[in-house]
Structure 1
Amino acid sequence: MEKKLIGVDLGGTTAKIAILTTDGTIEEKWSVETDISDEGGHIVQNIGDSINQKLRDLQLNKDIFHGIGMGTPGTINYETGTVKGAYNLNWAKEQKVATDLKNITGLDVYLDNDANIAAVGERWQGAGEGSANVFFVTLGTGVGGGIFAEGKILHGAKGAAGEIGHITVDTSPEAYACTCGKKGCLETIASATGIVRVAKDLATSFASESELKSIIKQGTEETTSKLIFDLAAKGDKLASQVVAHICFYLGLACSHIGNMLNPEKIIIGGGVSAAGEALLKPIQSYFEGMVFPAVRESTSISIATLGNDAGVLGAAWLALPAE
């Protein structure tokens, strides 16, 4: 039987798990609730137990697997296979994730950052189309990034490569404070929460008629990034102003990536990317006006195509044997 891969995409709510072929076909997919009690002490055990049970249910021998690839939040020590600082998992202290999961399952375990594996997943089976150089931007509650350069994941000296969310894009005195301790980070403007913050601030000085302004003022429904993009699509002037504002800063950040790294693809994923062309077109327009000609001709921007499967696909790629 052809050997297989297991991919694990660990998040604060669930761990998504999949069994895949070496060509990236998902054969089985399921999830396990992320139990963060007792300082996250049950998380790895629950994942390992679930994998063992699934292999028993499917009557699959562990000998047919190359190993388990796993993406996780937090700071990863790639030499020891440990993780710490994943506060949404209650992993403040160092966790021996690779060793513990291997002891439970008997399979080799390969770890990487969750943003990095999403980048690899899109590069391998999604919008990256197998490109050797891809930068992945994820727009969700925060803003993250992952770099796949010259055929490899780029980690940096302390595993912080690709942290596009903390590029300083606003140097004005009114710049928003970021959770990282700086001010003016891209994350404060272009994350799902940042977009809502921008909308509420711009609404205070917006003088024209606007459904978005009325919703914000009266609180008739929850203001979300999706609502803002939907109203912009209908021609709401305030919503359109908000979209233009955040897309300018995203275009600026992407231009920095393009001018420094010249990837073949910059791929935008995460929940905010569901806005599709309404997000992509203005970013492309700003980007093209901010990069020099060689980059404009060789680096393209696109929306991610894999959705929630990017993580398990990228994680499984980690377990592929070296060519």
Structure 2
Amino acid sequence: MSVTSPDLQPGGAQLLERTYAVQREIRKAHRVMAFQQIVDQEGSATRAKIARNTGLNPSTVSTILKELIDDGLVLDGEQAESTGGKPATTLKVDRSVHGILTVTVRPRRFRAALFTLGGEVESTESREFDRNVAPEDLVHFVSTFISNTERKIGVVGLQVPGAQDEGTVLESVQLDWHNVPLAYLIEAATGVPTFVVNDADAEAMVEGAYHPNAAATLYFVHMGGGLGAAIVSRGLLLSGLSGRAGEIGHVRVDYEASEPACLCGVAGCLESVASMRAMLGPAYSEELTSDEISALAADPSAVERLEAGAVALARALRLICAALDIQQVVLGGDAPRLGSAFLAAVQKELNANPAMAARTPSVVYAHPPREAFGVAQYALNRAFGVQWSFNR
């Protein structure tokens, strides 16, 4: 019996293409696994260790590492300590070729930071405006930065306030930008892969770097002038189909409210009760210092609003944590300036009314912020598939 080649059978060409596509994805996954081993164990990773830890064939590991070295991502390092035979050569991240350019966008300011692939900040640059910035201003700023640097920019990460979906800024009230295809505009002007992340997600990525291997899923809440949220698992965002997974800021929690107190137009939304501005009053601004925010929180006139905000936040958290089996909630943004009393009030409400058959999550404040690290981590992962960690 003769067997014809797949491309001569009905549907054979499509089957062959699917097979090739699967093989490409497998090879890509193996490449990421090997690269992540070097990021995790820089200076001690060897070819033999990578093969042992990943289960990959040693010859496959050697082929992948040659590609990573040729691509300027990895370097041979020092010789490892001998265990009796010829000392193995260690591997490390190549910091000399690719750079990660991040830009934090604010209504009248751009703040750029150039990261190495090892996570170090190599340089920073800012530009102030006497008017609100426009998308074309950002395109010019990024293009000029890239043309003026000697380093090869491997990826651009943009941190923008507001909602975004796969590189398009859907709506940013602060910037007054709507449906701006930001990643496309930057890529068209520079030829560099570009990714966009909002403030809450960028801050959540910082927190995720403290828990890269944690089996538990974290729920991160950014508290400032608004209220944003993100879901983090094993150090990475779970963004959902539209990039808005976990967002509860404009879910209604106060059904007695009759007039909207938020730009969303929903009366009694969580942001109108539990954002920093809602709890501390109109004197609050994200431009205030830590001491100034703490002083507002200590003002007796804010006590009732803080109590109401803590209860509303806890009730909203109870629902989402029960649905997603979340074990820890992290409050970031300016929330840590509220002190231990607010944190205790949120935890007390969660403990007092637990959801049946669900574990009550613990609530903690976020680690100290690291400027631009979150957006750099996001860009690194989207472009190269790996992630940095603070606790390895």
Smaller-chain TM-score bracket: 0.7 to 0.9
Query: Does structure 1 residue 83 correspond to structure 2 residue 190?
Result: no
Q: Give the structure 2 partner of residue 170 of structure 1.
A: 254
SS of structure 2 residue aligned to 1:171: coil
Can you list the C-alpha shifts for 1:40-88, whole angstroms capped at 9, x where unaligned? 43123223323544x3xxxx420xx43122222344341xx33242242
2:369 is matched with 307
Where does residue 118 of structure 1 map in the other structure? 203
Secondary structure of the 1:258 match is: helix
| Stretch moving more, 312-321 or 167-176 | 167-176
| SS class of match (1:315) | helix
State the partner residue of 2:144: 49
- How do 1:1-323 and structure 2 match up within 5 A? 1-2=94-95, 3-33=98-128, 37=132, 39-53=134-148, 55=149, 60-62=150-152, 65-78=153-166, 81-92=167-178, 94-125=179-210, 128=211, 131=214, 133-149=217-233, 152-173=236-257, 176-197=260-281, 226-231=294-299, 236=300, 238-292=301-355, 294-296=358-360, 299-307=361-369, 309=371, 312-320=372-380, 321-323=384-386
After superposition, the Cα gap between the structure-2 partners of 1:259 and 1:24, relative to the gap in structure 1 and judged at 3 Å, is farther
| Structure whose alpha-carbon radius of gyration is higher | 2
Q: CA deviation at 1:153?
A: 2.3
Matching residue's letter, 1:277: S
Unaligned runs of 5+ in 2: 1-93, 284-291, 387-392
Cα drift, residue 143 of structure 1: 0.9
* C-alpha distance in 1 between matches for 2:341 and 2:212: 23
Q: TM-score, normalised by structure 1?
A: 0.73
Compare 178-187 and 105-114 and name the one that shifted more.
105-114
Q: CA separation in 1, counterparts of 2:327 and 2:143?
A: 37
AA of the residue aligned to 1:88? Q
The Cα of 1:197 is off from its aligned counterpart by 4.8
State the secondary structure of the residue aligned to 1:41: helix
Structure 1, residues 76-113: CA drift from partner, whole Å, max 9, x if none? Answer: 341xx332422422323x33322332344442212233
Q: Determine if contact 1:36/1:90 at 8 Å carries over to the other structure.
A: no
**Contact 2:133–2:175, Cα closer than 8 Å, also in 1:** no
Alpha carbons 2:104, 2:110 under 8 Å: kept: yes
Q: Which amino acid aligns with 2:295?
A: L
Amino acid at match of 1:76: Q
Q: 1:318 to 1:228 in 2, by over 3 A?
A: closer
- 1:174-228 per-residue CA deviation (whole Å, 9 max, x = no partner) reads 56532112111111012222114599xxxxxxxxxxxxxxxxxxxxxxxx86434
Deviation at 1:131, TM superposition (A): 3.7
TM-fit CA distance, 1:256:
2.1
Gaps of 5+ in 1: 200-223
Cα distance in 1 between the residues matched to 2:279 and 2:268: 13
Matched-pair contact (CA < 8 Å) for 1:189–1:198: no
SS of 1:266 mapped into structure 2: strand
- Cα distance between partner residues in 1 of 2:330 and 2:129: 28
Percent pairwise identity: 27
Q: In 1, distance between residues paired with 2:207 and 2:110?
A: 19
What TM-score comes out, normalization by structure 2 length? Answer: 0.62
**For the residues of structure 1 that align with 2:326 and 2:262, how far apart are their CA atoms?**
27
Letter in 2 for 1:85: E
Q: Secondary structure at the match of 1:145?
A: strand
Distance 1:46 1:173 in 2: 44
Q: 1:96 & 1:174 partners in 2: Cα distance?
A: 36
Partner amino acid, structure 2, of 1:91: W
After superposition, the Cα gap between the structure-2 partners of 1:278 and 1:15, relative to the gap in structure 1 and judged at 3 Å, is farther
- Relative to 1, partners in 2 of residues 1:108 and 1:182: Cα closer, same or farther, differing over 3 Å? same
CA deviation string 1:11-33 (max 9, x = no partner): 32433322234453434344333
Deviation at 1:254, TM superposition (A): 2.0
Q: Distance in 2 between matches of 1:191 and 1:277?
A: 17
Q: Which has the higher contact order (CA 8 A, sep 6+)?
A: 1
* Pair 1:31–1:256, CA change in 2 (3 A): farther
Name the CA distance, whole Å, in 1 between partners of 2:363 and 2:204.
14
What is the RMSD of the two structures over their aligned residues, measured on CA atoms?
3.0
Q: Contact 2:108/2:132 (CA < 8 Å) preserved in 1?
A: no
Aligned residues: 278
Following the alignment from structure 2 to structure 1, what is the Cα–Cα distance between the partners of residues 213 and 124?
23
Tell me the secondary structure at the aligned position of residue 306 of structure 2.
helix
Q: Tell me the SS of whatever aligns to 2:232.
A: strand
Asked if 2 retains the 8 angstrom alpha-carbon contact of 1:11 and 1:34, the reply is no
